[in-house]
Structure 1
């Protein structure tokens, strides 16, 4: 099931509390908003002839439903699972069902320089790459990595 950026969008998923990006703990997450992230992802995908389908939910089940949708309709997944990184085997299982889709996990902050409980991510077990600590620029890096994996025919 190899797709290209020209044939299918990249799904960009944001988990709980990311709707408050730019307002919540700006000393950790910065002042950029989720709309800024969507614009950055769209611009980065466009440079590769593609589009980004950006979504956010505070609900684990909704994120899982969107991951299932990506199996059929998207070229890859960029995911910032937020706090679900550390707790959700269900999101990991959903991503594991996405055979052939490249997945890149993003964290705005460096989770390894934060509280110990944030150091482990279940999602990382499925991710082709993990980007942390680059601020919202990490999303652009993630889209670039998805594009590179697709161009190389990887996964």
Structure 2
């Protein structure tokens, strides 16, 4: 399924496409989706990057990440529900880490809600839990959920 998917750096003109994926991918009960204004701030930061996965003219996923010295953080990753399980998330994860490595990072971090099914994608990408914040997220449903911090260290002895 991913053979026809291409990933490109998002431009401000792509904000509506990113927001379409965000709206489709994030369940409003959890309150995790960012606003368009929040995303726009990333376009102004030289240390941040937003990438969009496209299936032809249709956006099917995106990632947002930032770099700080030898560390990079995945801020958001979303895949349109119609494309889940088809490898788009893995493409975006690989794309992020390749960019971060090229920027000098050798540690990669992300944070997620403890009951997020994306944990399987992150574990397949080499991430493991390195911290937990109890009752950190309060969803729009009123339920408190732990935040899980995950980390991956690049093996400097082999090419990524």
Compute the TM-score of the two structures, normalised by the length of structure 2. Answer: 0.35
- Which gives a bigger RCO, structure 1 or 2 (Cα 8 Å, sep 6+)? 1
> Which structure shows the bigger proportion of residues in helix conformation?
1
> Which structure shows the bigger proportion of residues in strand conformation?
2
Decide which structure has the larger Cα Rg and report it: 2
Compute the TM-score of the two structures, normalised by the length of structure 1. Answer: 0.36
